[in-house]
Structure 1
């Protein structure tokens, strides 16, 4: 079960330490492009070897307001690598750092997530017009193929995580359908967003990179 261990408030971002199955994840929540820029630069620095080998895997997820008009532009973009996660609050963003555009268009990075077929379209139709070079890999489809498990394809994130990571998470529907447009995300929303991106990352790193590329 995921819980908030610590919470620090700074002038232009918040930091949460999320405990998931006795693993501590450092989560940065911000709407400031300068913080996003620094987080992404640090991510590339600490994962430079994998990046140069074209083996860098990044968990990606988005959340949106269910009451918004079609095509449901995302309110948040979350990225996860190793024990670090970024939640970029797109709705209140003061801009987009150029490095984010670069990373989303970099074919050396493999983005992964759950049931993410429409994520690129939603990002493109957001006010920030974020474009991805290719569709992110759906780890659920990878698991279906790898384990010959057709029943998993339409399973919830909670079920997939429990079966393949042996981790119990909630991912309650009322949190998924809550107001992600609000100025300050709730702790439940932070946990939901972290689980979405981080668990996709955990599953993906257990799958050979060639199989990820085939989905």
Structure 2
């Protein structure tokens, strides 16, 4: 795999074989606004395929960590948004993820979308799991990972070192290895989606796949939101029960 990276503080040029990916790493909402605006101005196709991926610090026995970064890649423009360090989520991102003009692709993207809802209340409208699309178009097994799909569909090797996969993604300053890893996951996903789309007999087939998955995506997001609300309701009920017990104890003490 041929990869190189040039660092421009919060912007990077990452070269993957012959492709150069312009990448923004930020936790600043206004820069996310700017990236979305500039990217949309360059688009000439609807629906547009967007590579989507997320990263977070690995969970342990006692802690379930929130998503640290959200990666979005369109063509050769990539955004790595450090959600965990952002003061708020910009409305432009909310609307971007819910737009009917975009199809978000990734490996096991349903799990990522569900966690986005649970951790930040962020929903994604149209999603396509690349494993299912590759199985449908090329007969590739449905449990193939991103490395296998990159090799089978693009004919390219992508490295996914375990030490980077399980690194501290919630650090405020990501390492160059983390930036490269996060960028390539989203970029390769978008390239696989584009390649599979172009292999269709007509461009409408990808739209049909997206439309059929949209209801499943919305259902998954709604289900995740419902589970989140139920967990919070259970927590509230426990707190109320604890308050009642404390009140009863106080009354007993006053009677004595």
Give how far 1:67 is off.
2.2
Higher Rg: 2
Q: Deviations over 1:42-95 (max 9, x none)?
A: 111111x32xxx32111111011112634x421100000111100001111122
State the SS of the aligned residue for 2:114. Answer: helix
Looking at structure 1, the residues matched to 106 and 145 of structure 2 have their Cα atoms a distance apart, in angstroms, of 13
Give 5+ residue unaligned stretches, structure 2. Answer: 198-202, 214-256
State the SS of the aligned residue for 1:28. Answer: strand
Instruction: Give the CA RMSD over aligned residues.
Output: 1.7
Asked whether the 8 Å contact 2:149–2:192 carries over to 1, the reply is no
Higher strand share: 1
Runs of 4+ residues over 4 Å off in structure 1? none
State the SS of the aligned residue for 1:67. Answer: coil
Q: Does 1:34 align with 2:27?
A: no
Give how far 1:108 is off.
2.1
Give 5+ residue unaligned stretches, structure 1. Answer: none
Q: Does 1:139 align with 2:135?
A: no
Give how far 1:2 is off.
5.0
**Normalising by the residue count of structure 2, what TM-score does the alignment of the two structures yield?**
0.74
Q: Which structure 2 residues correspond to residues 124-163 of structure 1 after superposition, within 5 A?
A: 124-126=117-119, 128-134=120-126, 136-150=127-141, 153-163=142-152
Give how far 1:146 is off.
1.0
**Normalising by the residue count of structure 1, what TM-score does the alignment of the two structures yield?**
0.87
Give the aligned length: 202
Higher helix share: 2
Looking at structure 1, the residues matched to 163 and 208 of structure 2 have their Cα atoms a distance apart, in angstroms, of 34
Residue equivalent to 1:170: 159
Looking at structure 2, the residues matched to 64 and 110 of structure 1 have their Cα atoms a distance apart, in angstroms, of 23
Looking at structure 2, the residues matched to 156 and 120 of structure 1 have their Cα atoms a distance apart, in angstroms, of 17
Residue equivalent to 2:249: none
